[in-house]
Structure 1
Amino acid sequence: MVGISLAGAGLGFAIAPGQAAALAPIIEPQNGIYIGLDFNHADTVALANSPIPGMLNQPLLSAGAEIDPASRYWYPDRTAIWGRFSDLVDEAALTPNGSVGLALVDPAQFRGYNIIVAQTLN
């Protein structure tokens, strides 16, 4: 498996309750986030059951990531992640209340990355 390097920056994807806020857009240019999508658990499950994560594995190989400390995809030294985008989505989908987020970000604020993937397993 190809590794995804860590973003190293605090990127908070807030999970909004309720159906209307199921897929929440994030636009925070002042924080280096040009545009992002925050998926709630139901949408993360739907995303995991779609072909999209597999299609994004290759383009997101050099993406930064901020994943849950409980994820099984950490390298033993916790400096990098050994999973693919689809692995992170599947893990979140299989965890009650797990979710993912994806954002296009300012590389100057995110260690050179243009894309950041966030995963929450709580």
Structure 2
Amino acid sequence: MPTQTVRDILATDLGADWKDRLTWLDGAPTAAASIGQVHEGRWHDGRRVAVKVQYPNAGDALMADLRTLARAARAIGPLIPGVDMKPLVEEVQARAKEEPGLPGSRRRRSGSSRRPSVTTRPSTSRTWSRSAPGC
């Protein structure tokens, strides 16, 4: 993701004053996540944090893939006697709903009804952070 896109997402999710809370952000991603990328940053209190930024529209694409998986499982289920695919598909869908930023997510921040695309802890409605390993 271009650095400007990351900054735009941070501004949308954290507000125009996001730089007051996240005082430093590495423009290059430190790691890739399944539906986004992770940047190293420094929180306003000096803690080094990992900031996970979701790719635009990644949540919708993943949920569409899960719906396709459910349809495929129903189609191939009869070809595999004795194997019930439905519980497996339901479990995958349930875990996806726990991921902040996905449509139907049960994990919200600060009572927000918006889906997060940036995650950090402690924080506002759309941010999740944790201390980086070894910090």
> Normalising by the residue count of structure 2, what TM-score does the alignment of the two structures yield?
0.30
Q: Counting helix residues as a fraction of each chain, which structure ranks higher? A: 2
Q: Counting strand residues as a fraction of each chain, which structure ranks higher? A: 1
Structure with greater Cα Rg? 2
> Normalising by the residue count of structure 1, what TM-score does the alignment of the two structures yield?
0.32
